[in-house]
């Protein structure tokens, strides 16, 4: 088992990912398995499309009146005995949680799965304060043992095989090597059980926050979210401002689509309704409950009429599974807690200018839009962000690449104004490419288009009038 060194930038990291055949094999097999399960549970559920439309309409409404819903949610949470903290940015959220851990004398923290805490880099901050943090979702636990970030928002260890995990547990946990999933899971389970009982503070993310009732909904499959939120004396829920939905009656529409698109299940195993600390006379639940509601660039997204649609995301991860770029380079190459198509549209705002290049990391094939359960038009947002980035007065991160892209776009724009010239060029290109074709495909394009055929074939030009391009298989 080897831990990959951190590549320097996105180009290097994506080239390293694409060149790693073993990584691509694992990603392909996991994504294909997911899509098969998803297709099955979707097809056997006739109202799927109607639920998708209903969920989108609810999110659209919620995003349109976030301020009002957040006020209502806060009022209800406080009435249940929760302390609510609004964090303008990642530092404020981190500082609040670290100060809380210190003031409550916490030494050990257990965490349920939460991409929002990845976004605010909470673990390093807690560890720096001398507090032990343990990820309790199995995938998160595995990547934490490897000392690396998750590579998928739903399946953090998607880049690893059961043999990799067997090696890891052998080295880090000192157990005899096994690649048997049931044995590996049992080992993790027994280690994690002990930690839940010893933890002073629990932290989870939030899938939905219902304004009407002041309930936080955490969906999961392993029960670790339930234990992180109930066993420690102090519990902190961390959520982005966009997680609020208006009513309890809205929730089933999301539960019908989330399990199906995220994991190919009809419903996730646990749907936790968390409403406050334990009340007098109750035996279970935390003594204190805090809710950290994070902005961190989301208000700026809300103010952008095109980008605000990205706030409708329910973090199901399906767009990663269908994305040809993600499937070739893996999640770590993005170097953002949010990889794949959704990461490419939200990271520039949530993570900052270090992710400004991500909207360019897409082929605009549209598969993400088709699969998205709330029908987010990701390609449109990508184009919008590209336009914003290229019109920005700030110097580009890779001036050479930006210069070449601009010059190419200008040349194309000049040509595209003359349809006759375009047709003529098309015919000349077709004549030149025909000798390179074998069985309808060109396997090596000449320079400067050679990069295209490193990983895929190019359809051979057909005689006669041009027709729609068929889907083609990647060269795997
Ligand atoms: S953009 Fe859509 S498909 Fe992608 S994670 Fe969000 S909800 Fe899921």
pLDDT at 396: 65
User: How much is the pLDDT for 423?
Assistant: 86
Q: Is 323 in the pocket of ligand 1 (CB under 6 A)?
A: no
Looking at residue 314, the DSSP 8-state letter turns out to be -
- Please work out whether the CB of residue 319 comes within 6 Å of at least one atom of ligand 1: yes
| Among the listed residues 387, 314, 377, the one whose alpha carbon sits nearest the alpha carbon of residue 348 | 387
Q: Is the pLDDT of residue 88 over 70?
A: yes
Condensed to tens digits (0 to 9), the pLDDT of residues 447-466 reads 878 877 876 788 888 776 55
**Substitution site in 358, 376, 377, 381 for ligand 1 pocket (most atoms within 8 Å of beta carbon):** 376
Establish whether residue 318 lines the binding site of ligand 1, counting it when its CB lies within 6 angstroms of any ligand atom. yes
Q: Is 14's pLDDT higher than 60?
A: yes
Model confidence at 332, in pLDDT bands (50, 70, 90)? very high
Give the Å distance between the CA of 29 and the centre of ligand 1: 20
Burial of 339 (0-12, 13-18, 19+ CB in 10 A): buried
Q: How many residues does the chain have?
A: 476
Q: What is the pLDDT of residue 169?
A: 97
Determine the pLDDT at residue 475: 40
Residue 314 CA to ligand 1 center (angstroms) comes to 6
Residues 6+ apart with CB under 8 A from 374: 52, 55, 56, 59, 257, 312, 313, 314
- The residues, any chain, with a CB within 8 Å of residue 9's CB and separated by 6 or more, are none
> Which of helix, strand or coil describes residue 86?
strand
* pLDDT tops 60 at residue 91: yes
pLDDT of 353 above 70:
yes
pLDDT band at 476 (very low <50, low <70, confident <90, very high): very low
The stretch 237-257 carries a mean pLDDT of: 98
CA quadruple 331, 333, 335, 339: dihedral sign: negative
For residue 61, the model assigns a pLDDT of 98
130-142 pLDDT tens trace: 999 999 999 999 9
Distance 258 CA to ligand 1 centre (A): 10
Check: CB of residue 255 under 8 Å from CB of residue 308. Answer: no
Cβ neighbours of residue 448 under 8 Å, at least 6 residues apart? none
- Please provide the distance, in angstroms rounded to a whole number, between the alpha carbons at the two ends of the chain: 23
Quick one: pLDDT at residue 119? Answer: 97
- Measured from the CB, is residue 316 less than 6 Å from ligand 1? yes
CA distances from 244 to 2, 272, 289, 297 (A): 41, 16, 18, 16
In percent, how much of the chain has pLDDT > 90? 75
**How much is the pTM?**
0.87
Strand 437-438's sheet: what is its strand order? 437-438, 441-442, 458-459
Q: What pLDDT sits at residue 469?
A: 43
pLDDT at 472 over 90: no
Mean pLDDT of 414-420: 86
Could you read off the pLDDT of 294-324 as tens digits, one per residue?
Answer: 999 999 999 999 999 999 999 999 999 999 9
Ligand 1 center from residue 257 Cα (angstroms):
11
Ligand 1 contact via 314 beta carbon (within 6 Å):
yes
Across the range 286-291, mean pLDDT stands at: 97
- Where residue 395 falls among pLDDT bands split at 50, 70, 90? low
Q: Is 115 in the pocket of ligand 1 (CB under 6 A)?
A: no
Q: What is the pLDDT of residues 199-209, one digit of tens each?
A: 999 999 999 99
> What average pLDDT does the chain have?
91
Ligand 1 atom, smallest distance to 153 CA: 5
The C-alpha angle with vertex 267 and arms to 298 and 341, in degrees rounded to 5, equals 35
Interval between CA 60 and ligand 1 midpoint (Å): 14
Q: Which atom of ligand 1 is nearest to the CA of 317?
A: 5
Question: What radius of gyration do the chain's Cα atoms show?
Answer: 24
State which ligand 1 atom lies nearest to the alpha carbon of 368. Answer: 3
Closest CA to 397 of 364, 345, 360, 350: 360
Please give the pLDDT value at position 7: 45
233-256: average pLDDT: 98
pLDDT the model gives residue 462: 77
> CB–CB of 443/473 below 8 Å?
no
Residue 3 scores a pLDDT above 60: no
Residue 293's nearest CA partner among 458, 89, 113 is 89
**pLDDT value at residue 8:** 59
pLDDT band at 401 (very low <50, low <70, confident <90, very high): low
Q: Where are the alpha helices (DSSP H) in 204-268?
A: 224-230, 251-263
Q: Which of 115-119, 384-388, 391-395 has the highest mean pLDDT?
A: 115-119
- Residue 419 binned pLDDT confidence (cut-offs 50, 70, 90): confident
pLDDT of residue 473: 39
Judged by average pLDDT, the poorest of 1-5, 256-260, 424-428 is 1-5
Cβ of residue 376 lying under 6 Å from some atom of ligand 1: yes
Give residue-wise pLDDT tens across range 153-170: 999 999 999 999 999 999
Residue 379: CB within 6 Å of ligand 1? no
Please tell me what DSSP assigns to residue 456. B
Q: Reply yes or no on whether the pLDDT at 78 is more than 70.
A: yes
Closest Cα to atom 6 of ligand 1: 313
Mean pLDDT of 27-40: 94
Per-residue confidence (pLDDT) for residue 470, from 0 to 100: 41
What is the CA(89)–ligand 1 centre distance, in A? 23
CA of residue 95 to ligand 1 center, whole Å: 29
Lowest mean pLDDT among 5-19, 25-39, 200-214, 418-432: 5-19
- Mean local confidence (pLDDT), 237-260: 98
Give the whole-angstrom CA distance, residue 255 versus residue 291.
22
């Amino acid at each position: 088992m080897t831990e990959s060194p951190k590549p320097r930038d996105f180009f290097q990291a994506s080239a390293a990912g694409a060149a790693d055949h073993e990584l691509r094999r694992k990603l392909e097999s996991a994504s294909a398995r997911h899509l098969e399960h998803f297709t099955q549970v979707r097809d056997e559920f006739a109202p799927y499309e109607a639920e998708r439309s209903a969920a989108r309409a609810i999110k659209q409404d919620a995003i349109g009146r976030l301020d009002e819903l957040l006020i209502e949610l806060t009022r209800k949470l406080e009435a249940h005995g929760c302390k609510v903290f609004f964090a303008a940015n990642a530092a404020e959220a981190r500082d609040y949680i670290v100060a809380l851990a210190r003031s409550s004398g916490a030494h050990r923290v257990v965490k349920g799965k939460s991409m929002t805490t990845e976004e605010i880099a909470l673990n390093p901050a807690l560890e720096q304060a001398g507090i032990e943090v343990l990820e309790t979702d199995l995938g998160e636990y595995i990547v934490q043992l490897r000392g690396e970030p998750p590579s998928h928002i739903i399946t953090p260890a998607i880049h690893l095989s059961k043999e990799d995990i067997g090696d890891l547990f052998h080295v880090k946990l000192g157990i005899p090597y096994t690649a048997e999933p049931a044995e590996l899971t049992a080992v993790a389970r027994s280690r994690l059980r002990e930690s839940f009982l010893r933890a002073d503070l629990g932290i989870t993310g939030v899938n939905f926050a219902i304004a009407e009732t002041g309930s936080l909904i955490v969906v999961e499959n392993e029960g670790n979210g339930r234990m992180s939120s109930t066993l420690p004396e102090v519990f902190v829920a961390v959520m982005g401002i966009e997680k609020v939905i208006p009513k309890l009656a809205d929730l089933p529409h999301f539960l019908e689509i989330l399990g199906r698109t995220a994991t190919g299940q009809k419903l996730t195993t646990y749907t936790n309704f968390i409403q406050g600390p334990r009340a007098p006379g109750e035996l279970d639940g935390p003594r204190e409950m805090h809710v950290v509601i994070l902005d961190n660039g989301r208000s700026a997204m809300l103010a952008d009429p095109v980008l605000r649609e990205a706030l409708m995301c329910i973090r199901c991860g399906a767009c990663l599974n269908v994305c040809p770029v993600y499937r070739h380079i893996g999640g770590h190459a993005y170097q953002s807690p949010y990889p794949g198509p959704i990461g490419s549209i939200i990271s520039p705002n949530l993570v900052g200018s270090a992710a400004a290049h991500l909207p360019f990391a897409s082929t605009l094939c549209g598969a993400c839009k088709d699969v998205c359960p709330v029908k987010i038009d990701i390609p449109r947002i990508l184009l919008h962000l590209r336009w914003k980035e290229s019109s920005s007065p700030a110097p580009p991160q890779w001036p050479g690449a930006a210069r070449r892209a601009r010059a190419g776009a200008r040349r194309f724009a000049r040509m595209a104004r003359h349809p006759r010239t375009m047709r003529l060029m098309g015919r000349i290109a077709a004549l030149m490419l025909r000798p390179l074709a074998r069985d309808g495909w060109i396997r090596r394009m000449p320079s400067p288009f050679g990069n295209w055929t490193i990983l895929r074939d190019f359809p051979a030009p057909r005689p006669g009038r041009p027709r729609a391009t068929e889907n083609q298989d990647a060269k795997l």
